[in-house]
Amino acid sequence: MVVFRLLITFALCFVAGVARAECRPGSIEALPERAMLHLPAAGVTGPVPLVILLHGSTGTGAEMLRDSHLAETADRHGFVVAAPDGGIATDRGFVWNIPGVPTVTGSMPARDARDDVRYLTGLIDRLVATGCVDGARVYATGLSGGGRMTSWLGCVVARRFAAIAPVVGLRAGRPLTSNVSRADPATCRSTAPLPVLAFAGDADTTNPITGGGAPYWQYSQAAALQRWAVLNGCSDPYARNLGATVYEQGYARCQHGTSVAARVTRGGPHSWSVVDNEAMWAFFSRHRR
Boundaries of every domain in the chain: 23-285
The CATH number that domain 23-285 falls under is: 3.40.50.1820
What angle in degrees, to the nearest 10, is found between the helix axes of 277-285 and 70-77?
50
234-272 in b/e form (b: 16+ CB < 10 A) is beeeeeeeeeeebbebbbeebeeebbbbbbbbeebebbb
Q: What are phi and psi of 100, to 5 degrees?
A: 80, 5
Write out pLDDT tens, residues 92-109: 999 999 988 888 888 888
H-run or E-run covering 225:
helix 221-231
134 has a pLDDT exceeding 60 = yes
Q: What's the Cα-to-Cα distance from 172 to each of 62, 167, 289, rounded to whole Å?
A: 27, 13, 20
* pTM across the whole model: 0.90
Q: Can you say whether the dihedral through the CA atoms of 248, 250, 252, 256 is positive or negative?
A: negative
68 has a pLDDT exceeding 60 = yes
| pLDDT at position 52 | 98
- Alpha-carbon gap, residue 289 to 154, rounded angstroms: 13
The one-letter amino acid code at 195 reads P
Beta strand 80-82 with 88-89 is unpaired
Give burial (CB, 10 Å; 0-12/13-18/19+) of 233. Answer: middle
3 state SS of 267: coil
H-run or E-run covering 66:
helix 61-68
- Alpha-carbon gap, residue 53 to 67, rounded angstroms: 11
| pLDDT at position 15 | 36
| pLDDT at position 78 | 96
Q: What is the pLDDT averaged over residues 233-238? A: 95
Nearest to 261 by CA among 242, 277, 245: 242
Lowest mean pLDDT among 29-38, 117-126, 159-168, 267-276: 29-38
The one-letter amino acid code at 263 reads R
| pLDDT at position 34 | 67
